[in-house]
Structure formats: C-alpha cells, structure tokens
C-alpha cells in the first residue's frame, strides 16, 4: 500500500527506533525481493522462492556458496531451498532429488505488507510455473503459498500446500536451511538428544537414538531425526555468526547435513573448503507422506530467532 508506506517513512523520521523500511524489489535484479525491518534484512530469489540471505545487525546468518548458480540454471546452493513434493529421491517418482519447488520460478503475491513489528511477503507456485518436463512427472493440481516474515530478530518461513485437484495426493516437504559457520567444528546443534534418527552416512543407513546434548560435525553428517517434538527448540550454536533457535510448526523431522571434504569436492557448485562454512539444519515433514484430500490444505513452517 503506497499510502501506508509513505506514512511509515514519515513516521521513521520522527522515531528511528521503530523505523521499518521495505524494498520489495532490488532494482538491479528484478528476480530478487529484498525486505528490511529495523536492522534486519532478508533477500529472496523468485527462483525456488529461495531465501539467500538473512542479516541481523549486519551479521549474515545464512550460507550461500560462492559457486552457487543464481541464474535459474540449477537449484541455488545455499540459503533456504524449498523441498516439495518429495525429500531426496523416492522409488515411486522420477522427479530429481528434492522435487521441483526449488527449481521453479515462483510469483510474488501482493506487495510486502508492513506493520510496526514485522514485514512480510508471499510467493505462489502452481503447476503451470513448474518446468514442463518436471510437471509431467508429478501430474497433480496444487497451489503452494510461501510466506516470508521478518522482524528485528526473527525470520519466519511458512509453506501452505493446497490440493486443488479432485483426487487425493501425497507429498513430503522440508526447509533445507544452510546456516553460515566460521569453522564447522565449533558448531553444536542442540535439542535433538533422545530423538531417533536414520544415519544416511553409515553402511545400511541404521537407526539409532541421539545420546548427545549437541550434535557436532567431525566428518560427513547426514542424519534424519524423526518425530522431534514441535515444542523442542533446536539451537544452532558456535557458528561465529550468533546462535539461532529454530522453532518448528507442523515440521516434526530435522535433518542435519554437512558434506565434509570428499562430497564437497564432488559438488560442482560448492567450494572445496566450504564444508567448513556451513551446516544444514533442516526442518521438515519427510519421514511419512502427508496425504491431502481434494480441497484440503496443509501448513508447516519455521521461525529462526537470534538467541
Ligand atoms: O538434506 C540432506 C541432503 O538430502 C543430503 O543427502 C545431500 O545430498 C543434500 O541434501 C544436498 O542435496 P542436493 O540435491 O542439494 O545436492
């Protein structure tokens, strides 16, 4: 609302502490939406509706690979790629790993909305905006709405999935968040003690129960913690970029991933040494398929909060 926007600018002149300023589009790059609120900012590419930066007080919380493709030719390596309609690869689908949401170009819905406490913007995706070859592999009618909300100390990302078909279908989904680190060996992921997990790195992908108060990285890690109580706060500590608490809504599973040295070298869009600068802590609903009846919706999301 331009009128409201002008009023807020005028308000800011008189009260800098509550100053809120939203820039919906980066003039130098129309493929990207920038929001700021107080001293926090977020940037989101329409490609994949991928959040690629979240800064609080000038401190970057999110990892983006120096080799990431930002031209829509490949899923963005870093940020918060959105996984839909399935996590990983599954025997019943020929879609690529993690589905098509992260490689489709989303549309921004209304201009960002601003209040004194938050600034928000939403994106939508439906089958006609999915690359045709991928849409053909998952021929279901759907509408996704992804809302990104920024406050001075939080970033909330919420996905709404609607079944607009006349038959039921099922999906899994995940927010594949890459946190920035200065030396991944110093990082601890707290809040997963007692959770059952699948260890995708170990031979045979065995199940076990997490016994540590903090998950650490001293080699390749790829674990799917299942059914972690929504109320359990997961905290990413020791990143060198400030601790972040992950609050989850309707996302019971938490994936912790670091490719370590060999897998880092094998990824063309990831620097050989960048395994030291990131850890993925991914809130999702991936252990069981979610079934949606015609007309039904499902909503899940996370709030990242500076600690
Ligand atoms: O979420 C962890 C994971 O599924 C890992 O197994 C690893 O492959 C990672 O995602 C990255 O996947 P990508 O398709 O982006 O290379």
User: Measured in angstroms, how far is the CA atom of residue 19 from the centroid of ligand 1?
Assistant: 39
pLDDT digits (tens, 9 = 90+) for 62-101: 999 999 999 999 999 999 999 999 999 999 999 999 999 9
Which residue's CA is the closest to the ligand 1 atom numbered 14?
Answer: 97
Question: Strands of 59-60's sheet, edge to edge?
Answer: 32-37, 40-45, 50-56, 59-60
Q: Indicate the pairing of strand 119-125 with strand 107-108.
A: antiparallel
Q: Are 174 and 87 in contact (CB under 8 A)?
A: yes
Which residue's CA is the closest to the ligand 1 atom numbered 4?
Answer: 88
User: Measured in angstroms, how far is the CA atom of residue 21 from the centroid of ligand 1?
Assistant: 35
Which residue's CA is the closest to the ligand 1 atom numbered 8?
Answer: 88
pLDDT (0 to 100) of residue 8? 40
Provide the β-strand partners of residue 131. none
Which residue's CA is the closest to the ligand 1 atom numbered 13?
Answer: 97
Q: Which of 176, 210, 241, 274 is catalytic?
A: 176
77 belongs to an annotated ligand binding site: yes
User: Measured in angstroms, how far is the CA atom of residue 284 from the centroid of ligand 1?
Assistant: 13
Residue among 215, 257, 283 whose CB has most ligand 1 atoms within 8 A, to mutate: 257
pLDDT (0 to 100) of residue 15? 37
* Measured distance CA(91)–CA(71) in Å, rounded: 30
Question: Which atom of ligand 1 is the closest one to the Cα of 75?
Answer: 15
For residue 176, indicate whether it is catalytic: yes
User: Measured in angstroms, how far is the CA atom of residue 1 from the centroid of ligand 1?
Assistant: 39
Q: Are 155 and 121 in contact (CB under 8 A)?
A: no
pLDDT (0 to 100) of residue 18? 35
Which residue's CA is the closest to the ligand 1 atom numbered 15?
Answer: 77
Provide the β-strand partners of residue 187. none
* Tens-digit pLDDT string for the chain (307 aa): 333 333 343 333 333 333 334 445 555 677 999 999 999 999 999 999 999 999 999 999 999 999 999 999 999 999 999 999 999 999 999 999 999 999 999 999 989 999 999 999 999 999 999 999 999 999 999 999 999 999 999 999 999 999 999 999 999 999 999 999 999 999 999 999 999 999 999 999 999 999 999 999 999 999 999 999 988 999 999 999 999 999 999 999 999 999 999 999 999 999 999 999 999 999 999 999 999 999 999 999 999 999 9
102 belongs to an annotated ligand binding site: yes
Sequential DSSP letters for 194-208? T-EEEESSSTT--EE
pLDDT digits (tens, 9 = 90+) for 11-60: 333 333 333 344 455 556 779 999 999 999 999 999 999 999 999 999 99
Q: Are 137 and 107 in contact (CB under 8 A)?
A: no
Q: Which of 281, 289, 199 is nearest to 247 (CA)?
A: 281
**CA angle at 275 for the pair 185 and 221, rounded to the nearest 5°:** 70
* Measured distance CA(23)–CA(35) in Å, rounded: 5
Residues lining ligand 1, Cβ inside 6 A: 75, 88, 97-98, 176, 200, 222, 255, 257, 280, 282
User: Measured in angstroms, how far is the CA atom of residue 96 from the centroid of ligand 1?
Assistant: 11
């Amino acid at each position: 609302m331009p009128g409201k926007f002008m009023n807020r600018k005028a308000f800011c002149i008189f009260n800098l502490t509550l100053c809120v300023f939203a820039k919906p589009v980066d003039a130098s790059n129309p493929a990207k939406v920038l929001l700021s609120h107080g001293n926090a900012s977020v940037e989101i590419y329409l490609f994949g509706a991928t959040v690629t930066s979240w800064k609080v007080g000038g401190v970057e919380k999110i990892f983006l690979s120096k080799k990431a493709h930002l031209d829509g030719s490949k899923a963005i390596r870093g940020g918060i790629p959105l996984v839909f309609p399935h996590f990983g690869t599954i025997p019943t689908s020929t879609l690529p790993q993690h589905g098509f949401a992260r490689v489709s170009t989303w549309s921004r819905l209304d201009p960002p909305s601003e209040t004194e406490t938050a600034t928000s913007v939403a994106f939508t995706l439906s089958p006609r905006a999915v690359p045709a070859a991928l849409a053909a592999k998952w021929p279901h009618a759907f509408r996704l709405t992804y809302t990104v909300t920024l406050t001075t100390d939080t970033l909330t990302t919420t996905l709404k999935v609607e079944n607009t078909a006349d038959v039921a279908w099922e999906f899994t989904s995940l927010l594949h968040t890459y946190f920035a680190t200065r030396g991944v060996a110093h990082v601890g992921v707290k809040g997963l003690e007692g959770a059952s997990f699948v260890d995708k790195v170990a031979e045979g992908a065995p199940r076990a129960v997490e016994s540590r108060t903090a998950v650490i990285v001293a080699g390749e890690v790829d674990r799917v913690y299942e059914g972690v109580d929504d109320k359990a706060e997961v905290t990413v500590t020791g990143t060198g970029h400030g601790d972040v608490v992950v609050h989850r809504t309707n996302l019971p599973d938490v994936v912790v991933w670091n490719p370590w040295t060999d897998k880092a070298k094998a990824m063309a869009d990831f620097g050989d040494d960048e395994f030291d600068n990131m850890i993925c802590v991914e809130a999702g609903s991936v252990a069981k398929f979610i079934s949606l009846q015609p007309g039904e919706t499902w909503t899940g999301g996370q709030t990242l909060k500076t600690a």
